[in-house]
């Protein structure tokens, strides 16, 4: 399937999307989790597929997946058929890979960044939408005993993979990173720092409004703000974002 997805004569291009959050084990039954449902990544994949792009989708095993996340036990048969038909039309252009741990994520990120770099597809893009931990720790071999009182967990800084993607693994592929903040005024100053790491653009969003408002920040270009009606919109913000991303390549 991967050879077909990477072929130049199928679809408008190839996009590699990472989605979901990493898990850092503390002991055999506990872990540090990065908050991410993966819905944004799953929706982005769907809209790229609808735009006739081929999609490599690297996702947390428990996070949202394209089309499947729209299924609901109470949904009408008519809506189920619509989702099913969309999936059937797109499944041959979708390659899904799972990860859970930080090691899983970095290994697959390197592998498929290099695959995309070497692809003969004429249009390519990498969207780093996964919520990757900034910290790691050595996991205990047995469960931490809560009856023993407070336990100190030492955290180590995780080396950033972004420069490896942009400068080493896929230097010819446009890379877009995501920046989530709790305060809007912090997005652009922090996003600017990503340009030194080789990204083409940064998609910024605020936690409280991320479902209906995003910003596309690019070097030496005006910031593009996209927003939909949070209550009454019949479209999703990811639809607007995919159209904009394709237009700036």
- Asked if residues 197 and 191 have their Cβ atoms less than 8 Å apart, the reply is no
Q: Looking at residue 142, what is its pLDDT?
A: 87
Q: Looking at residue 149, what is its pLDDT?
A: 67
DSSP classification of residue 218: E
Question: Could you report the per-residue pLDDT of 109-165, keeping only the tens digit for each?
Answer: 999 999 999 998 889 999 999 999 889 888 888 888 877 766 788 899 998 999 999
Cα angle value 126/127/128 (rounded, 5°) = 115
| Plot region of 149 (φ>0 → left; ψ -120 to 50 → alpha; else → beta) | left
Average pLDDT, the chain: 92
Q: Looking at residue 168, what is its pLDDT?
A: 98
Q: Looking at residue 141, what is its pLDDT?
A: 86
Question: Could you report the per-residue pLDDT of 75-120, keeping only the tens digit for each?
Answer: 999 999 999 999 999 999 999 999 988 999 999 999 999 999 999 8
H/E element, 26: strand 23-27
> Burial, 149: exposed, middle or buried (Cβ in 10 Å; 0-12, 13-18, 19+)?
exposed
d(CA 26, CA 47): 37
pTM of the model: 0.93
Q: Which pair of tokens denotes residue 166?
A: 């942009």
d(CA 241, CA 47): 9
d(CA 216, CA 201): 7
What domains lie within the chain, and their CATH numbers? 2-133+154-204 (3.40.50.10300)
Q: Looking at residue 111, what is its pLDDT?
A: 97
Q: Looking at residue 214, what is its pLDDT?
A: 97
pLDDT over 90 at 212, yes or no: yes
d(CA 227, CA 96): 29
pLDDT over 60 at 230, yes or no: yes
């Amino acid at each position: 399937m991967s050879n077909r997805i990477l072929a130049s004569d199928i679809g408008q291009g190839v996009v590699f999307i990472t989605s979901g959050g990493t898990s850092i084990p503390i002991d055999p039954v506990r872990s540090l989790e990065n908050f991410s449902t993966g819905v944004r990544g799953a929706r982005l994949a769907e809209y790229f597929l609808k735009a006739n792009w081929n999609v490599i989708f690297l996702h947390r095993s428990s996070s949202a997946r394209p089309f499947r996340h729209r299924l609901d036990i109470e949904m009408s048969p008519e809506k189920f058929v619509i989702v099913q038909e969309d999936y059937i039309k797109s499944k041959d252009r979708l390659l899904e890979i799972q990860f859970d741990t930080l090691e899983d994520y970095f290994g697959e990120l390197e592998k498929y960044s290099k695959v995309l770099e070497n692809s003969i597809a004429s249009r390519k893009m990498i969207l780093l939408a996964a919520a990757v931990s900034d910290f790691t720790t050595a996991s205990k071999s047995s469960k931490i005993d809560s009856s023993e009182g407070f336990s100190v967990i030492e955290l180590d800084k995780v080396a950033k993979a972004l420069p490896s993607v942009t400068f080493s693994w896929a230097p010819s592929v446009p890379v877009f990173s995501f920046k989530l903040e709790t305060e809007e005024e912090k997005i652009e100053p922090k996003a600017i720092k990503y340009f030194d790491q080789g990204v083409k653009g940064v998609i910024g969003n605020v936690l409280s409004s991320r479902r209906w408002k995003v910003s596309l920040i690019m070097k030496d270009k005006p910031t593009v703000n996209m927003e939909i009606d949070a209550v009454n919109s019949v479209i999703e913000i990811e639809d607007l974002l995919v159209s904009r991303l394709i237009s700036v390549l």
